[in-house]
């Protein structure tokens, strides 16, 4: 059953130097209890897409076109007060990129977890603290943490606290934006284990955003690869990783250094497009080894390959 449907979504930032087309024509769907991994290089629009799923895009950003349908409701049409009261944190929550370093230093963990429950959802202090303690336990922390301050926590513990915030109200969809990027590899593995556990126990859907495709392989059922604001490949994890279709996905996967073998390192020459002024035609053609004439002139179509696998590329048209 589908939980989330994103249809032809366009998000732009209007800046003095021009319009940044951060998300352009993104379409995908996600089932209940499924995990979607969104990958791609820095600046390709991953975080912007995540913000759009909460309808919480920082200014000067704006959804200029398209729909985000969560559990049958089109969020793009809902007024801000409804979103605040009924949708955010309750239906969909987010672990923001870098959030573990944005915990407020002067409040205890308990205050930071229970506060919103009291002021936003009118719980009593006791109820709120009880709920906070439950959430902490879910993420593998003792309720003693409630009385502690952020500086008394290790990096991994802080990340667990931010994850606890995201699950306080049992949302149907949890978005995690680069939740392990600042962590060491052993702690990262512990946090990945936590996400796997939560996904199972809460039966929530998960949108997991990272530039590290290995982490996507580690958790996701579905994979979305973004390039220059566009979704260039989407499909079941096994298919996308084992038989990537888009030349970009293919090159991205082969540029990952492996621990199980020593290989000649490969890379993608050139740089990603300037989203204020993307190249005509396919956005990837200047870096694509298979670029044809048509790629430089016409935008590629989204080609259905079956089994929910889609690719935005002229090679398959």
Partner 1 sequence: MSAPTKELLVVEDLRKWFPVRRSLADVLAGRERRYVRAVDGVSFTVVCSEVFCLVGESGCGKTTTGRLIVRALRPTSGKMLYRVSEEVLDALRALHVRLEGDSFVDLAGRFRGKADKLLRREVQMILQDPYGSLNPRQTIRDILEEPLIIHGIGGSRDERLELVVKALKDVKLTPPEEFLDRYPHQLSGGQRQRVNIARALLLKPKLIVADEPVSMLDVSIRAEILQLMLELRDVKNLTYVFITHDLAVANNICDRIAVMYLGKIVELGPATEVIRNPLHPYTKALIAAIPEPDPRKGRAIKEVPIKGEVPNAVNVPPGCRLHPRCPYAEERCRREEPELKDVGGGHLVACHLY
Ligand X SMILES: Nc1ncnc2c1ncn2[C@@H]1O[C@H](COP(=O)(O)OP(=O)(O)OP(=O)(O)O)[C@@H](O)[C@H]1O
Which lies closer to partner 1 via its Cβ, residue 106 or residue 185? Answer: 185
Q: Does 137 bind partner 1 (CB under 8 A)?
A: no
* Among ligand X, Mg ion, partner 1, none, residue 1 binds (CB under 5-8 Å by kind): none
Residues 59 to 88 in contact with ligand X, rule: CB under 6 A:
60-61
The single residue among 92, 237, 275, 295 that binds ligand X, judged by CB under 6 A, is: 275
- Out of 46, 131, 160, 287, which residue is the one contacting ligand X (CB under 6 A)? 46
C-alpha span between 70 and 276 (Å, rounded):
30
Is residue 180 at the binding interface for ligand X, with CB under 6 A as the rule?
no
Q: Which is nearer to partner 1, 66 or 244 (CB)?
A: 244
- Among residues 144, 152, 184, 298, the one that binds partner 1 under rule CB under 8 A: 184
Give the x/- contact pattern for Mg ion in 47-76, rule: CB under 5 A: x-----------------------------
**Residue 151 CB, nearest approach to partner 1 (Å):** 12
Choices 44-52, 86-94, 108-116, 236-244 (CB under 6 A): range interacting with ligand X: 44-52
The site for ligand X (CB under 6 A) is made up of 13, 15, 20, 22, 40, 42-48, 58, 60-61, 97, 211, 275
């Amino acid at each position: 059953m589908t939980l989330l449907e994103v249809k032809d979504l366009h998000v732009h930032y209007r800046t003095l130097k021009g319009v940044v087309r951060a998300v352009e024509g993104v379409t995908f769907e996600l089932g209940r209890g499924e995990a979607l991994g969104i990958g791609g290089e820095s600046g390709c629009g991953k975080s912007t897409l995540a913000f759009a799923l909460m309808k919480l895009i920082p200014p000067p950003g704006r959804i200029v076109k398209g729909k985000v349908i969560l559990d049958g409701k089109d969020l793009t049409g809902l007024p801000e007060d409804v979103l605040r009261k009924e949708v955010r944190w309750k239906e969909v929550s987010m672990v923001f990129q870098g959030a573990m370093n944005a915990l407020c230093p002067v409040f205890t963990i308990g205050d930071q977890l229970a506060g919103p429950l009291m002021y936003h959802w009118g719980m009593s202090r006791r109820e709120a603290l009880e709920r906070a303690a439950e959430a902490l336990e879910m993420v593998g922390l003792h309720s003693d943490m409630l009385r502690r301050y952020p500086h008394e926590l290790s990096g991994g513990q802080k990340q667990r606290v931010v994850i606890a915030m995201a699950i306080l109200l049992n949302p149907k969809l949890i978005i995690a934006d680069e939740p392990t990027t600042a962590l060491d590899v052993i702690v990262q593995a512990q946090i990945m284990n936590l996400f796997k556990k939560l996904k199972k126990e809460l039966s929530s859907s998960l949108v997991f955003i990272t530039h590290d495709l290995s982490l996507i392989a580690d958790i996701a059922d579905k994979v979305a690869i973004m390039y220059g604001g566009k979704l260039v490949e989407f499909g079941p994890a096994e298919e996308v990783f084992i038989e990537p279709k888009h030349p970009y996905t293919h090159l991205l996967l082969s540029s990952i250094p492996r621990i199980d073998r020593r290989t000649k390192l490969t890379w993608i020459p050139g740089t990603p497009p300037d989203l204020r002024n993307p190249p005509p035609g396919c956005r990837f053609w200047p870096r694509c080894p298979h670029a044809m004439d048509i790629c430089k002139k016409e935008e590629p179509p989204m080609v259905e390959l079956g089994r929910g696998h889609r690719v935005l590329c002229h090679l398959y048209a």
